[in-house]
């Protein structure tokens, strides 16, 4: 998986690398799901469409991941495979996953929120890179 955990004193900080912003956002969703509930199968039966609008890429990413977190908290949906499309200030995604099960997805960490603090999207050579903190 193209993400790594970075040091942080209290929360979970990760760095995601991908080729292109759409892939970067998809990998960020996959990483968040893996932190919350290891064992999610990407081709699973639950499919959900997600749409968010924001002023900049950081806002789009924050709102997208926050919406996935809301669906996890409110409906018990673990969405771990998202196909993201970006059009200026609009993000649309088709996300696949499964219903959360404590038995099946044991060993994860509760994420309470997606932080704007420390959120960075930048280029490193040909790759797009994201650094983000999840409040746990």
pLDDT, position 130: 96
Taking the C-alpha atoms of residue 33 and residue 90, their distance in angstroms, rounded to an integer, is: 22
Alpha helices in 1-136 (DSSP H): 21-36, 57-75
- Quick check: 57 and 81 in contact, CB under 8 A? no
Q: What is the pLDDT of residues 41-79, one digit of tens each?
A: 766 689 999 999 999 999 999 999 999 999 999 999 999
User: What are the beta bridge partners of residue 98?
Assistant: 78
User: In tens digits, what is the pLDDT along the chain, a chain of 136 residues?
Assistant: 477 666 666 789 999 999 999 999 999 999 999 999 987 776 668 999 999 999 999 999 999 999 999 999 999 999 999 999 999 999 999 999 999 988 888 888 899 999 999 999 999 999 999 999 999 8
This prediction has a pTM of 0.92
Percentage above 70 pLDDT, the chain: 92
In this prediction, residue 49 carries a pLDDT of 98
Q: By the 8 A CB rule, do 15 and 27 touch?
A: no
* Residue that has been written with the tokens 């999610």 in this structure: 40
- The two tokens of residue 118 are 């420390």
**Separation between Cα atoms, residue 120 and residue 14, nearest integer Å:** 11
Q: Which residue ranges form the domains of the chain, and what is each CATH number?
A: 3-135 (3.55.10.10)
DSSP for residue 55: S
The predicted pLDDT at position 8 comes to 62
């Amino acid at each position: 998986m193209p993400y790594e955990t970075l040091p942080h004193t209290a929360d979970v900080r990760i760095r995601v690398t991908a080729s292109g912003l759409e892939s970067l956002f998809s990998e960020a969703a996959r990483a968040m799901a893996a932190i919350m509930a290891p064992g999610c199968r990407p081709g699973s039966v639950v499919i959900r469409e997600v749409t968010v609008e924001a002023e900049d890429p950081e806002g789009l990413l924050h709102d997208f991941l926050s919406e996935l977190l809301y669906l996890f908290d409110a409906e018990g949906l673990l969405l771990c495979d998202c196909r993201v499309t970006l059009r200026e200030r609009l993000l649309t995604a088709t996300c696949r996953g499964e219903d959360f099960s404590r038995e099946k997805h044991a060993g994860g960490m509760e994420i309470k929120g997606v932080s704007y603090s420390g959120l960075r999207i930048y280029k490193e050579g040909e790759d797009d890179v994201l650094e983000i903190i999840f409040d746990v």
